[in-house]
Structure 1
Amino acid sequence: MTNLLSIVLPTFGLIGLGYAAGRLKLLGERAGDGLSDYVLLIAVPSLIFRTLATGEIPAQNPYGYWIAYFAGVGLCWAAAMAVAMTAFGRDRREGAVLGFTAAQSNTVLVGVPLILEVYGEAGGTPLFLLLAIHLPIMMTVAALLIESAAVDAKPAAIARRLLRTIVTHPIILALAAGLAAQRLGHPPTGALRSVIDQLSATASPCALVAMGLALKRFGFFNDMRAVAVVSALKLVVHPFIVWLLAFHVLDVPPVWAGVAVLFAAMPCGINAYLIAARYKTGEPATSSAIAVSTALSVVTVSVWLLVIGAA
């Protein structure tokens, strides 16, 4: 129990600090936006680059790792879409957004700091490799489903937008730079290493405070039937599928299996709200799902830490 508290309390304590700062108007929406931008554009890419540039890539690719995680993604996405369209009468565009919300983990703001707290440097490589693969796949599928539902959708325009998003995303660029530095044997040294280390150290606390500010901004209580379904899929069903496959069906190294389960156990990601806001569909349900699933994840993540033997 002591180990569990030492993992959970610092993570969610910083989220609570950000939420309190927003409630007390010590920090406003502009501060939250700026902090989130800093985390996404500078701090987390620095952390990813440092981890990969100074780490070792496994000689053998654990394919079971990818299969376990993305099987959970696909099943939860499909289930959320089906419920949204059949039980709640939503159109295909909103169904795609709710499916994305049920399958997209909040890795940058919650997952990265928590998983690194649990597994340390040993979890860095599987975490950031999955983070990099996860982002382009999820964003690509979401955009294709939403934009193809439009009457005037043009495949060439969709493809151009997707390609531009993927090749200019800071996390993808950091991954590519880190892998290149590792493969070429030129990790950062000297003053450059010092700067990258200092930026990397700010990623976790800034991300967690930013998440707390986001919770204050988005609120908790909108479209609660849809929110309940999405949150249950994200916090319970997704990690259960990954745990079953990674620990009991497929051949996955223990640390990689644990990272996959915790990655899946994260609350709904803030990218889901950004997608909803961009396409002007599903915003109330998505913002509430982020808030509710993040609050509930204090309990559910604690349970999954016990299940995988990490606490």
Structure 2
Amino acid sequence: MSDIIAIVLPIFALIGLGFLAAKIGLMSERAGDGLADYVFALAVPALIFRMLSESTAPLNSSPWGYWVTYFAAAAVVWAGAMLISSRVLHREQREGVIHGFCSAQSNTVFLGIPLILRAYGDAGAVPLFLLLAIHLPIMMGVAAILIEAADPERSGGGLRRFFKTLLTHPILLALAAGVAAQLTGVKAPASIKPILDALATSASPVALVSMGIALARYGFRSDPEAASISAFLKLMVHPALVFVIGTWVFALEPVFTGVAVLFAALPSGINGYMIASRYKIAEGFASNAIAFSTAFSVFTVAIWLWVLGVG
């Protein structure tokens, strides 16, 4: 438990730093918006491209049953969150996409890597990488497409504008470039790699500070009901579905099932707030969902480690 707290604490420290800076006037709301734009347009695309282009495991040799186990569960949770958002909470469609994304997307960089490697050691490295290599691009890409498709201004005669947006979307462009580089074996030139690394490395801490500034604007009680539902779906329902599908549908090796369950049991990642900020949709909910799920994960991750018989 102390190890998990030690991992989670720096996340809250960076969020708290942004929150404090905004509260005492060191940084303005405009600064927070600028940081979010930087992360969305430059830092995360660089992270996606680097993650895919530097992958050493061929995409066409990965275990499809393992991927289907994880992403089928994520799809069910995402769809369920959107349904609850629409039918129970009476939110508009684009906000429902943010609810679904925050309920299905995991904090892989800050929590996933150290937690899973600590739990399973070297045996967990391969299944961890197989999810890590495609999780962010797939989840961010789907979110971008759903939000763009749900924009009422893009219906009917706006179809051409919709596809133009997709073709110039930084996340989707990074995904396409990363896959192409991975399949062709092309690497970033030595002169460009330090720039790419600097941008990718800055994505998470800058986004967390940006979220802290947003919390100062929206507070911790912007949308507690929706954030609590999202946290429950993320921390309990998602890993439970992965456990059931991996164990009884695909009969995966125990280490693969365990890694996928822990991956699903991670709290909502910062990318949920980043997308919300980019599109100016449900920013208060996204910041609350991340804060709630991260705080509760200290206890729920311990429960899943016990269920898996790890540690």
> Is 1:17 aligned with 2:20?
no
Alpha-carbon distance in 2 for matches of 1:109, 1:238: 10
In the TM superposition, what are the counterparts of 1:98-117 in structure 2 within 5 Å?
98-105=95-102, 110-117=107-114
Shift of 1:236: 3.2
Residue 81 to residue 197, structure 1, CA distance change in 2 (3 Å): closer
Q: Relative to structure 2, which stretch is displaced further, 116-125 or 23-32? A: 116-125
> Is 1:301 aligned with 2:297?
yes
Letter in 2 for 1:139: A
Determine if contact 2:50/2:196 at 8 Å carries over to the other structure. yes
Determine if contact 1:234/1:264 at 8 Å carries over to the other structure. yes
Alpha-carbon distance in 2 for matches of 1:117, 1:73: 22
Shift of 1:224: 4.5
Determine if contact 1:53/1:182 at 8 Å carries over to the other structure. yes
Alignment partner, residue 218 of structure 1 = 218
Q: Tell me the C-alpha RMSD between the 2 structures.
A: 3.7
Alignment partner, residue 286 of structure 2 = 290
Shift of 1:255: 8.1
In the TM superposition, what are the counterparts of 1:208-247 in structure 2 within 5 Å?
208-222=208-222, 224-246=224-246
Alpha-carbon distance in 2 for matches of 1:107, 1:14: 23
Shift of 1:47: 2.4
> Is 1:31 aligned with 2:31?
yes
> Is 1:131 aligned with 2:132?
no
Determine if contact 2:207/2:270 at 8 Å carries over to the other structure. no
Residue 146 to residue 54, structure 1, CA distance change in 2 (3 Å): closer
In the TM superposition, what are the counterparts of 1:1-311 in structure 2 within 5 Å?
1-58=1-58, 59-88=60-89, 90=90, 94-105=91-102, 110-118=107-115, 123=128, 126-144=131-149, 147=152, 153-154=155-156, 157-158=158-159, 160-222=160-222, 224-246=224-246, 249-250=249-250, 251=252, 253=256, 257=260, 260-262=263-265, 265-266=268-269, 269-270=272-273, 273-274=276-277, 277=280, 286-306=282-302, 307-308=304-305
Identity %: 32
Shift of 1:104: 0.3
Letter in 1 for 2:287: A
Question: So what's the TM-score if we normalise by structure 2?
Answer: 0.75
Shift of 1:32: 1.0
Structure 2 residue matching 1:269: 3-state secondary structure: helix
Residue 107 to residue 211, structure 1, CA distance change in 2 (3 Å): farther
Residue 288 to residue 84, structure 1, CA distance change in 2 (3 Å): same
Question: So what's the TM-score if we normalise by structure 1?
Answer: 0.75
Letter in 2 for 1:204: S
Q: Relative to structure 2, which stretch is displaced further, 237-246 or 2-11? A: 237-246
Alignment partner, residue 280 of structure 1 = none
User: 1:246-282: per-residue Cα shift (whole Å, max 9, x none)?
Assistant: 46643373686257415675478126635874xxxxx
Residue 249 to residue 19, structure 1, CA distance change in 2 (3 Å): farther
Shift of 1:70: 3.7
Alpha-carbon distance in 2 for matches of 1:303, 1:28: 34
Alpha-carbon distance in 2 for matches of 1:232, 1:109: 13
Alpha-carbon distance in 2 for matches of 1:60, 1:296: 37
Mind listing any 5+ residue stretches in structure 1 that lack a counterpart?
278-282
Alpha-carbon distance in 1 for matches of 2:267, 2:70: 7
Residue 50 to residue 258, structure 1, CA distance change in 2 (3 Å): farther
Letter in 2 for 1:62: P
Alpha-carbon distance in 1 for matches of 2:223, 2:4: 33
Alpha-carbon distance in 2 for matches of 1:255, 1:55: 22
Determine if contact 2:239/2:262 at 8 Å carries over to the other structure. no
Shift of 1:10: 1.8
Residue 6 to residue 227, structure 1, CA distance change in 2 (3 Å): closer
Residue 125 to residue 166, structure 1, CA distance change in 2 (3 Å): farther
Shift of 1:235: 4.0
Letter in 1 for 2:98: T
Letter in 1 for 2:294: V
Shift of 1:109: 10
Residue 64 to residue 18, structure 1, CA distance change in 2 (3 Å): farther
Alpha-carbon distance in 1 for matches of 2:277, 2:202: 23
Q: How many residues align?
A: 295
